[in-house]
């Protein structure tokens, strides 16, 4: 089963569009779309949504996300994972990493972890 992604609202909209074009079976939703948290939702609430819906969060938030994840885990919550995009990779390279991650990873491989692309 492929990983499912929730794209943070601050990530370039090209990501879901390109992933959907290249791999239509990958589920990628965007904050602010129907059935997702609305835009401007606080990160701790987004983490809860990801946990409840089994989505890996895709973000470029390197500064506060580690603290939010630590707080989330501290209250015995879990998350399928957080992928942080790499500003040193091209958009195409980041997209390729996300596609590989979705198709080649075990469902719980990144549980409660932040992974900085490229994937290990």
Q: Where are the domains of the chain?
A: 5-116
Label residue 44 exposed, middle or buried (CB < 10 Å: 0-12, 13-18, 19+). Answer: middle
Residue 47 predicted with pLDDT over 70: yes
Percent of the chain with pLDDT over 70: 99
pLDDT value for 74: 97
pLDDT digits (tens, 9 = 90+) for 94-116: 999 999 999 999 889 999 999 99
Comparing CA positions, the residue from 55, 57, 2 lying closest to residue 25 is: 2
The mean pLDDT of the chain is 95
pLDDT digits (tens, 9 = 90+) for 15-39: 999 999 999 999 999 999 999 999 9
User: Is the pTM value of this prediction over 0.75?
Assistant: yes
Three-state DSSP class for 12?
coil
Q: Are 20 and 28 in contact (CB under 8 A)?
A: yes
Edge-first strand order for the sheet with 114-116 is: 28-30, 5-7, 56-59, 82-84, 114-116
C-alpha span between 83 and 89 (Å, rounded): 14
pLDDT value for 1: 67
31 alpha-carbon distance from chain centroid: 11
State the average pLDDT over residues 52-75: 95
pLDDT value for 37: 97
């Amino acid at each position: 089963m492929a990983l499912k992604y929730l794209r943070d609202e601050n990530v370039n909209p090209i990501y879901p569009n390109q992933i959907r074009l290249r791999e239509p079976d990958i589920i990628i939703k965007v904050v602010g779309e129907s059935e997702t948290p609305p835009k401007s939702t606080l990160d701790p609430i987004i983490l809860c949504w990801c946990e409840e819906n089994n989505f890996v969060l895709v973000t470029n938030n390197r500064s506060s996300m580690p603290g939010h994840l630590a707080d989330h885990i501290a209250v015995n919550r879990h998350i399928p994972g957080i992928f942080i995009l790499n500003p040193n990779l091209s958009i195409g390279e980041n997209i390729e990493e996300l596609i590989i991650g979705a198709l080649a990873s075990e469902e719980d491989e990144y549980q409660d972890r932040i992974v900085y692309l490229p994937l290990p």
